[in-house]
């Protein structure tokens, strides 16, 4: 298991070694997790990567199935 403290660190880790699963926080210190998710979905190498996006947000508009 690997852990990244930021979106940039996560991207670097994923570039180095493709994980089996990503558990992604919506609120990262350097960038929104949803933006990282969009980037991963547009990249041919990671578009099928299983991702669980977690958030502490409670507003109805933040719910999404990607």
Helix (H) or strand (E) holding 10: helix 7-16
The lowest-confidence range among 3-7, 26-30, 34-38, 56-60 is 56-60
Number of domains in the chain: 1
Residue 13 placed within a domain: yes
The answer to whether residue 62 is domain-embedded is: no
Give the predicted TM-score (pTM) of the model. 0.81
Is 1 within the bounds of a domain? no
pLDDT of residue 63: 57
**pLDDT tens for each residue of 1-14:** 899 999 999 999 99
How far apart are alpha carbons 46 and 17 in whole angstroms? 11
C-beta of residue 29 within 8 angstroms of C-beta of residue 6 = yes
SS3 24: strand
**Res 39: pLDDT:** 97
């Amino acid at each position: 298991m690997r852990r990244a403290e930021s979106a940039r660190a996560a991207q670097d880790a994923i570039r180095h070694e493709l994980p089996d699963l990503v558990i992604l926080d919506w609120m990262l210190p350097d960038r929104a997790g949803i933006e990282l998710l969009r980037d991963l979905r547009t990249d041919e190498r990671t578009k099928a990567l299983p991702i669980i996006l977690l958030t502490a947000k409670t507003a109805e508009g933040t719910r999404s199935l990607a």
